[in-house]
Amino acid sequence: NGEGDFLPGLVVDRYGDFLVAQFFTAGMDHLKGLVVDSLSRLFSPKGIYERSEGGVREEEGLPPAIGVLTGEEAPDLIQIEENGFKFLVDIRKGQKTGFFLDQRDSRSLLSSLARDKTILNCFAYSGAFAAYALRGGARQVISVESSRPALELAKQNLALNNLSRSESDLLKADAFSYLKRCEPEFDIIVLDPPSLAVKRGDVKAAAGGYKFLNLHALRALKPAGLLLTFCCSQHLSLDLFQKIIFGAAVDSGRKVQLLKRVGHPLDHPVSLHHPEGEYLKGLLLNVLE
């Protein structure tokens, strides 16, 4: 978990018998061989797969590095379990290391709020939020995702958990455009976009994107509706994110309460010496009228 575990630039996630490693800094990349040997000795995985890519590596002057570091090639999909759910994970082509392990607590929160609700799940990816909502008793969940492979994976994950497709609509669409067309018809909306600020220079444009999404999400909620909204960029602070949401609330003309801040689960600690490591910022908002 990078700086949170006092190993700056290193992320390692475990999926069954396979590990996925990301090396984001030049220093940690230089230690790659040592890290792989240590992981092999400690965990005896069938294989270690590398997914070192993205803006942070670019800022370090490092090219992308993707592929098997040691051991077996991973299967196309790996099945994992989380809180009684089963999910298929694509560690080779999926987002991040294949699954958003850091959203485990937020998925449980949504499940606790979902009974008899109509829910819009934007940036649905492989359907984990939808699965939790349906298991929590949601009347209907509409999941919007622009990636067809991700939607196919979401379909498989709902079936794997014996969740009815009649209560879940999977739509291939751009979430920005979809939200703009929505009427005030939802009880809960989940906004979990990929990072809109991959590099420090992206923050200004990202702020506009986050405001657009949240403005139209607030307008698409019924009175007493809930918005569960996230920002996963370490370059955009919690303070700035809250200011963006405040601006969206003012422009929407809705009266909004902050009910809860949500973020990393316990296995994603943050070093007090590196507060920027608190990259995942979530807000649960109540729209009164």
Q: What is the rounded (10 degree) CA torsion for 57, 58, 63, 67?
A: 40
Collapsing DSSP to helix, strand or coil, 11 comes out as strand
Name the one residue in this structure whose structure tokens are 């000795």: 41
**Closest to 123 in 3D by CA, of 178, 188, 192:** 192
Q: How far apart are the first and last CA of the chain?
A: 40
Q: Is 232 a catalytic residue?
A: yes
Q: Are 221 and 258 in contact (CB under 8 A)?
A: no
CB atoms within 10 A of CB 95: 15
Say how far apart CA 35 and CA 24 lie, in whole Å.
13
Q: What is the rounded (10 degree) CA torsion for 218, 219, 223, 227?
A: -20
Question: Which residues, in sequence order, are CB contacts of 272 under 8 Å at separation 6+?
Answer: none
Q: Are 154 and 143 in contact (CB under 8 A)?
A: yes
How are beta strands 221-231 and 140-145 bridged, if at all? unpaired
Alpha-carbon distances, residue 178 vs 106, 159, 172, 174, 253 (angstroms): 23, 25, 10, 6, 20
| Residue of 122, 182, 231, 232 marked catalytic | 232
Q: Are 13 and 97 in contact (CB under 8 A)?
A: yes
Catalytic residues, by residue number, are: 232
